[in-house]
Amino acid sequence: MKNLALSILMVFWTWSSLWAEAGIPEENQTILVNQDQHNGPRSGWVPSKTQTHRALETIVTFLNQTLSPEWKNRQRRVIRKRFSSYHVQFVGIIVDGQKALHCNFFPADDGFKHDTKSYVYVLDGGASYWRINVNTEEDTCFDFDVNGEG
């Protein structure tokens, strides 16, 4: 019993350590309200900080899984290594009648001054620019998309 408790504690500590290393700083997280531009999804609701934090946890779990086809898996490995260096924009969307979060990732040091008000849309750039949706009711990821290399 003592060994089981110790094992559980070690797993929790390892997971907490991984998340602490991989977390995106609060100042690099933006909730876009009333997003209605042609280059990004339209807002359907405004998420809370709790919902965005939970979405990031869901995304980390997703990024720790093997994906197919292989090109997605290669991109996933690059993204996972850089995860804490991204800025993320959250847009509350409705998909098939359920709340979801559209999460738009780009390098935090890329100098986008307008990122707190406008959706950042960039062509090319590979794993530096990517998007994913998170179903907030089921804690699942879908529509993982990475820019192509230019």
CA distance 7 to 67: 28
CA distance 102 to 55: 10
Tokens of 138: 């089921």
The beta strands (E) that lie in 11-147 are given as 29-31, 86-95, 98-107, 130-135, 140-146
- Banded pLDDT at 70 (limits 50, 70, 90): confident
Stronger pLDDT, 8 or 117, i.e. the higher one = 117
pLDDT at 31: 95
pTM score: 0.82
pLDDT reading at 40 higher than 90: no
Overall number of domains in the chain: 1
CA distance 137 to 101: 10
Reported as a single tens digit per residue, the pLDDT across 131-147 is 999 999 999 999 999 99
Share of the chain above pLDDT 90, in %: 59
Q: Which of 52, 46, 48 is nearest to 34 (CA)?
A: 46
CB 62 within 8 A of CB 145: no
Q: Name the average pLDDT for the chain.
A: 84
Residue range(s) defining the domain that contains residue 37? 2-146
Average pLDDT over residues 27-47: 88
- Banded pLDDT at 12 (limits 50, 70, 90): very low
pLDDT reading at 114 higher than 80: no
pLDDT at 110: 80
CB 112 within 8 A of CB 103: no
Three-state DSSP at 105 gives: strand
Average pLDDT over residues 81-89: 95
CB 44 within 8 A of CB 92: yes
